[in-house]
């Protein structure tokens, strides 16, 4: 995320009310994530600091629902 010059708080804050932004953010994270990691694991979130939608969805209080409601999510 820092590579894009954006703070997480700003990006995710906007994602709460802007569905188009949220979809773009989701796409960027899926494209930008490290393909050598196993995603969708709490370990990857915690130890590799991956913040892709699949890894974030493993965290308590994190919105798996937000990921599922996206039109391009399977
Ligand atoms: Zn991930």
Task: Break the chain into its structural domains and give their ranges.
Answer: 2-68
If the chain, 74 residues long, is cut into consecutive pieces of 10 residues, what is the mean pLDDT of each piece?
65 87 91 96 95 91 55 50
- pTM summary value: 0.60
Task: Using the mean position of ligand 1's atoms as its centre, give its distance from the Cα of residue 64 in Å.
Answer: 13
Q: Which of 42, 43, 14, 41 is nearest to 28 (CA)?
A: 14
pLDDT at 35: 95
Q: 15 and 62 in contact (C-beta within 8 Å)? A: no
Joined tokens for residue 47: 């130890």
Helix/strand number for the chain, H first, E second: 5, 0
Cα 64 from Cα 36, distance rounded (Å):
22
What is the CA(17)–ligand 1 centre distance, in A?
23
Give 62 Cα–ligand 1 centroid separation in angstroms.
14
Protein residues within 5 Å, CB atom, of ion ligand 1? 33, 39, 50, 52, 55
Centre of ligand 1 from the C-alpha of residue 45, in Å: 6
Distance from C-alpha of 73 to C-alpha of 69, rounded to nearest angstrom:
7
DSSP 57: T
């Amino acid at each position: 995320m820092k590579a894009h010059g954006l703070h997480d708080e700003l990006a995710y804050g906007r994602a709460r009310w802007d569905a188009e932004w949220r979809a773009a953010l989701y796409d960027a994270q899926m494209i930008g994530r490290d393909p050598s990691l196993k995603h969708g694991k709490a370990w990857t979130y915690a130890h590799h600091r991956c913040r892709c939608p699949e890894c974030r969805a493993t965290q308590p209080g994190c919105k798996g629902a937000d990921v599922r409601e996206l039109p391009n999510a399977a």
